[in-house]
Amino acid sequence: MVCGGYIVGCLSTHVPPHRVVSNSISNMLVSSRLHCISLNQTYYTKGIWIPFVSFGSLHHLRLEQGSLSRTISPQNRKEQQKFTVSASVTVPLVNEEVEKVRLQKGQTWSVHKFGGTCVGNSERIRNVADIIIQDQSERKLVVVSAMSKVTDMMYDLIYKAQSRNDNYIVALDAVLEKHTSTARELLDGDDLSIFLSRLHQDISDLKSMLQAIYIAGHVTESFSDFVVGHGELWSAQILAALVRKSGRNCKWMDTREVLVVNPVSSNQVDPDFLESEKRLEDWYSRNSAETIIATGFIASTPQNIPTTLKRDGSDFSAAIMGALVKARQVTIWTDVDGVYSADPRKVSEAVILQKLSYQEAWEMSYFGANVLHPRTIIPVMRDDIPIVIRNIFNLSAPGTVICRSTAGEDEDDLGLETPVKGFATIDNLALINVEGTGMAGVPGTASAIFGAVKDVGANVIMISQASSEHSVCFAVPEKEVKAVEKALKSRFQQALHAGRISQVAVLPDCSILATVGQKMASTPGVSATLFNALAKANINIRAIAQGCSEYNITVVVKREDCVRALRAVHSRFYLSRTTISMGIIGPGLIGATLLDQLRDQAAILKEKFNIDLRVMGVTGTRKMVLSDTGIDLATWRDLLSEKGENADLKKFVQHVHENHFIPNTVLVDCTADTDIATNYHHWLLRGIHVITPNKKANSGPLDQYLKLRALQRKSYTHYFYEATVGAGLPIITTLKDLLQTGDKILLIEGIFSGTLSYIFNNFKGTSSFSDVVKEAKEKGYTEPDPRDDLSGTDVARKVIILARECGLNLELADISVENLVPESLRTCSSVEEFLEKLPQFDQDMARKKQEAEDAGEVLRYVGVVDVVNQKGTVKLQSYKKDNAFAQLSGSDNIIAFKTERYNEDLLIVRGPGAGAAVTAGGVFSDILRLASYLGAPS
Ligand SMILES: NC(=O)C1=CN([C@@H]2O[C@H](COP(=O)(O)OP(=O)(O)OC[C@H]3O[C@@H](n4cnc5c(N)ncnc54)[C@H](O)[C@@H]3O)[C@@H](O)[C@H]2O)C=CC1
Ligand SMILES: N[C@@H](CC=O)C(=O)O
Ligand code: NA
């Protein structure tokens, strides 16, 4: 059984790198009333991955089972339950889908690549060895980088020697010490002595080489490559010896003996696959082993000169090795959970993508996303070998699989795979626009433009030309724009002079926003959605490009708009259409109860109805609390009281509506404040929906009311106020349904006041009138000032609200009201003073009650909307004891609709019409009504 609750304790459970771990976790304290588990503002139910921190790193647990036992929390004395969850963490080292393909192809090798941070110290190296040992593949080829910082230390040695800084010797000692101590912590016996003897030999050779560099004051590239490559040689040897310690047949490989590459530029090499494959076969025939630990980053030229694979070298090594051994999978181990849908530093909602096609990964990485370098993808893509990006510090995260796209082929896909996968941005660009009437139909114009750009060595990042051919626009890095502008102006000097080209214009401070997704191809409407999201965020697009592969739509925006643009489009594609940003104003009785109801129900709404309600702000009169992603509703009270900032309604509204890109905003006014109500018109005008139990707007001045309702009808922005009459009872909706379906309302008569209903239902026996008033206040039925109830004003407001709904243009002053507040108490300055003095008038009310009782009747405070005669009345009236109005209990309201259709037998709605839970429930129903108007599933 999984029963609800939110985790209030922190877990401390170690999850070792097993394929499947079953773990029982206890000591999660959960509140008894909830139905789901909440942590870090997110709610979780059975079957969902929950993140938790253990030993300083993030893990995920899948909730499978739980059992409950009760306890009392010492801090707040609230009853809580101890939640025992049996969770299973599945950490398949080989992705299941990938495994299927592998078996079909009979592939036996798995390739892993561990970067410098993965082997940063002896503990981490041990961890890596564990992962290798856990992999059940028949054969494993592990590519390893130098220990973290070692490559930099090696470059520093060269730099010092070359600049004749004697400290290179001390620096070399530090390198020796780092590897000696690591080896001592991990190895022993022969393994240790063999490694240390080789290490000392290497260090002594390096010393001689550095000395030669010192003397020459110069270093060649191959010398430098040879020196820096030692970090990989040492880490591979240490790791291989450690894996051997577990009894595995493991050899280390100096990839310079196998991998042959041809340098093509200062930062690029091309692998020679044929030659490398031959050398690998040869190496393997001499060194057959179940596990091979190979050095990343280093290789040889065809002339056997040591070289490196340059930037991102070890990833590239792993991909080439994967292709050479036709691996079933290449796993790149890193320190993030996978590839995000957008830079998580810019978009807090960014999610880890489970799967990317090679093309998508490629596009994302070109556009600055922290994915693999496109170069890394090419070797494996040719042989359809999947790359999996996994987090070594979070073995329970499944990571991102980069593989061939199955979009459209996968029968299970049902077209649900999203067309847009991710977004990436590039900053610091400038646009250049070459424009003129003399360009159209002139062959060679583009060639002349880009020839000039090439001559100054600038890189063109994006190009756009409309088919009228009057302008060509392209983006270059900001730092290159001056040179490009100069070259173009000089190249087109004559055309500019003659007016054939009107301008070479530079637009500085631009950024590119790229939207990537293989399934965008042939899916109509993606660009419309994208541009719509940008338009709604009020972002101007300076240039657009989409190639006919349709994998990527690139827009150029002002740099200052870029993050906003990114968030806007990300929200549009990644958030549910019915994600609603909410601002709650007035966390009093109703507001607070609503927040608690939202807390308890949010997960279910999200999971079952795809309704994602985010409370982005709560404000009272003095303090407010704001959040960018949604306030943790388990702690909103503490946040407000301890971390709340000074309340500022303007800032509050701005934040809830504009500081992020959730598609819809609603402000929920839970105050009784007239000033707040005067804002509704302005909010609706700004596209903000409004929901309220506050009666002030609908019962206030008629002209303002009519203006508000006219706007509501025109704007498609919603305004709901069910709880203003009869609290959660369906009064407004019933009336609207009657009217909209063409019924004619004749009369509405009812007990509209929960307070006065409660008072007269309980004003019997020995109870005094003033005591019952106090009880009603304590039970939360009254208005903030109970005189609003006793005076009949609250009922009069409800009568007005219904009358106006029926089309009567009445003002509050038009309603005749019998006021139950003794004359002399109407001017009391405080609620406390009023309640203190009220007992002085108990006798008067007791007499009225007695008179009714003597006539076999009871007193009831009723409101009447006489539609036929266009009148409203509020009065104390006595009813025979068998009348339905006489038979209420508690805070019941009863409202009888007399209409053309319900003429003989009236339509009656009855039930509790005041109180925290039912009123907040009524407001909550309005919120869900809004969600369904916005498209939530029913
Ligand atoms: N209590 C009930 O049974 C029902 C209440 N209502 C309506 O619900 C609304 C709230 O009622 P309660 O929660 O009972 O009252 P309450 O007095 O407990 O709560 C009102 C909250 O609004 C805050 N507030 C007032 N002016 C504000 C402003 N300008 N900015 C921010 N916060 C402000 C107050 O500080 C207080 O926390 C009222 O309009 C009432 O008529 C409607 C139906 C039933
Ligand atoms: N004070 C009101 C609350 C609902 O509007 C009542 O008593 O009915
Ligand atoms: Na209602």
Residues 630 and 761 in one domain: no
Is residue 120 a part of any domain in this protein? no
Residues 801 and 652 in one domain: no
Q: What is the DSSP string of 44-73?
A: E-TT-EEEEEETTEEEEEEEEEEEEEEEE-
Q: Model confidence over 806-856: pLDDT tens digits? A: 999 999 999 999 999 999 999 999 999 999 999 999 999 999 989 999 999
Using a 6 Å cutoff on CB, does residue 673 contact ligand 1? Answer: yes
Place of tokens 């930037």: 311
Higher pLDDT, 744 or 382: 744
Q: What is the DSSP string of 358-405?
A: HHHHHHHHHTT-SS--HHHHHHHHHTT--EEEEETT-TTS--EEEE--
Q: Is the pLDDT of residue 275 over 90?
A: yes
Per-residue confidence at 409, pLDDT binned at 50, 70, 90?
low
Using a 6 Å cutoff on CB, does residue 237 contact ligand 1? Answer: no
Residues within 5 Å of ion ligand 3, judged at the Cβ atom: 722, 726, 729, 731
Please report the pLDDT score of residue 55 as a whole number.
Answer: 31
Whole-angstrom Cα distance, residue 178 to residue 116?
14
Whole-angstrom Cα distance, residue 917 to residue 601?
14
Ligand 2 atom having least distance to the Cα of 913: 8
State mean pLDDT over 84-101: 47
Is residue 367 a part of any domain in this protein? no
Q: How far is the CA of 104 from the centre of ligand 2 (A)?
A: 70
Q: Is the pLDDT of residue 24 over 90?
A: no
Give the DSSP H/E element, type plus range, for residue 465: strand 462-465
Q: Is the pLDDT of residue 888 over 90?
A: yes
Q: Write the residue with the smallest CA distance to atom 25 of ligand 1.
A: 671
Boundary (domain end) residue, out of 91, 119, 143: 91
- Start-to-end C-alpha separation, the chain: 27
Q: Which of 251, 355, 696, 798 is catalytic?
A: 798
Tokens describing residue 723:
């709880």
CB–CB of 64/88 below 8 Å? Answer: yes
Q: How many residues does the chain have?
A: 938
Using a 6 Å cutoff on CB, does residue 797 contact ligand 1? Answer: no
Q: Is the pLDDT of residue 28 over 50?
A: no
Q: Model confidence over 142-192: pLDDT tens digits? A: 999 999 999 999 999 999 999 999 999 999 999 999 999 999 999 999 999
Is residue 849 a part of any domain in this protein? yes
Per-residue confidence at 371, pLDDT binned at 50, 70, 90?
low
Other Cβ atoms within 10 Å of 783 Cβ, number: 20
Q: Is the dihedral of CA 751, 754, 755, 758 positive or negative?
A: positive
Residues 599 and 717 in one domain: yes
What is the best residue among 669, 789, 799 to mutate for testing ligand 2's pocket, by most ligand atoms within 8 Å of CB?
789
Q: What is the CATH number of the domain that holds 906?
A: 3.30.360.10
Residues 713 and 589 in one domain: yes
Is residue 81 a part of any domain in this protein? yes
CA 757 to chain CA centroid, nearest Å: 47
- Cβ-based neighbours of 554, under 8 Å, separated by 6 or more: 367, 462, 512, 513, 514, 515, 544, 545, 546
State mean pLDDT over 654-658: 90
Please report the pLDDT score of residue 411 as a whole number.
Answer: 44
Please report the pLDDT score of residue 790 as a whole number.
Answer: 96
141-145, 302-306, 467-471, 912-916: least confidently modelled range: 467-471
Q: How far is the CA of 786 from the centre of ligand 2 (A)?
A: 9
Residues 454 and 582 in one domain: no
What is the best residue among 590, 759, 783 to mutate for testing ligand 2's pocket, by most ligand atoms within 8 Å of CB?
783
Please report the pLDDT score of residue 369 as a whole number.
Answer: 58
Q: What is the CATH number of the domain that holds 618?
A: 3.40.50.720
Q: What percentage of the chain carries pLDDT values higher than 90?
A: 63
| Apex 284 CA angle, 281 and 290, nearest 5 | 130
What is the best residue among 593, 724, 775, 782 to mutate for testing ligand 2's pocket, by most ligand atoms within 8 Å of CB?
782
Residues 720 and 740 in one domain: no
Residues 810 and 872 in one domain: yes
Q: What is the CATH number of the domain that holds 502?
A: 3.30.2130.10
Please classify residue 177 by burial: count the beta carbons closer than 10 Å to its beta carbon, then call 0-12 exposed, 13-18 middle and 19+ buried. exposed
79-88, 586-595, 622-631: least confidently modelled range: 79-88
* Strand order across the beta sheet in which 139-144 lies: 250-253, 291-295, 139-144, 109-114, 329-334, 387-391, 400-403, 355-357
Is residue 519 a part of any domain in this protein? yes
Buried b (16+ CB within 10 A) or exposed e, 395-433: bbbbbbbbbebebeeeeeeeeebbbbbbbbbbeebbbbb
Per-residue confidence at 25, pLDDT binned at 50, 70, 90?
very low
| Apex 488 CA angle, 487 and 491, nearest 5 | 85
Boundary (domain end) residue, out of 568, 599, 619: 568
Please report the pLDDT score of residue 934 as a whole number.
Answer: 84
Residues 895 and 758 in one domain: yes
Residues 718 and 765 in one domain: no
Q: Is the pLDDT of residue 713 over 80?
A: yes
Please report the pLDDT score of residue 364 as a whole number.
Answer: 80
Q: What percentage of the chain carries pLDDT values higher than 70?
A: 85
Q: Write the residue with the smallest CA distance to atom 6 of ligand 1.
A: 693
Please report the pLDDT score of residue 679 as a whole number.
Answer: 98
Q: Is the pLDDT of residue 29 over 70?
A: no
Q: Write the residue with the smallest CA distance to atom 42 of ligand 1.
A: 693
Is residue 336 a part of any domain in this protein? no
Instruction: Please tell me the number of the ligand nearest to residue 674's CA.
Output: 1
Using a 6 Å cutoff on CB, does residue 893 contact ligand 1? Answer: no
Other Cβ atoms within 10 Å of 435 Cβ, number: 14
Boundary (domain end) residue, out of 53, 74, 91: 91
Which residues contact ligand 2 via a Cβ below 6 A? 727, 753-755, 781-783, 789, 794, 913-914
19-23, 520-524, 569-573: least confidently modelled range: 19-23
Per-residue confidence at 519, pLDDT binned at 50, 70, 90?
confident
Number of domains in the chain: 4
Is residue 301 a part of any domain in this protein? no
Whole-angstrom Cα distance, residue 852 to residue 848?
6
Strands 139-144 and 109-114: parallel
What is the best residue among 794, 801, 874, 894 to mutate for testing ligand 2's pocket, by most ligand atoms within 8 Å of CB?
794
Q: Is the pLDDT of residue 74 over 60?
A: no
Q: What is the DSSP letter of 36?
A: S
Residues 611 and 550 in one domain: no
Is residue 537 a part of any domain in this protein? yes
Q: Is the pLDDT of residue 799 over 80?
A: yes
798 noted as active-site residue: yes
Ligand 2 atom having least distance to the Cα of 789: 1
Please report the pLDDT score of residue 370 as a whole number.
Answer: 62
- Cβ-based neighbours of 167, under 8 Å, separated by 6 or more: 160
Higher pLDDT, 670 or 568: 670
Residues 881 and 776 in one domain: yes
Q: Is the pLDDT of residue 7 over 50?
A: no
Give the DSSP H/E element, type plus range, for residue 861: strand 857-866
65-69, 285-289, 295-299, 573-577: least confidently modelled range: 65-69
Per-residue confidence at 346, pLDDT binned at 50, 70, 90?
confident
Q: How far is the CA of 783 from the centre of ligand 1 (A)?
A: 8
Ligand 1 atom having least distance to the Cα of 915: 3
92-106, 182-196, 432-446, 757-771: least confidently modelled range: 92-106
Structural domain including 708 reads: 578-724+926-933
Work out the mean pLDDT of the chain and round it to a whole number. 85
Residues 704 and 850 in one domain: no
What type of residue sits at position 373?
A: H
Name the residue among 464, 449, 458 with its Cα closest to residue 554: 464
Strands 719-720 and 689-691: parallel
Per-residue confidence at 107, pLDDT binned at 50, 70, 90?
low
Q: Is the pLDDT of residue 694 over 50?
A: yes
Per-residue confidence at 312, pLDDT binned at 50, 70, 90?
low
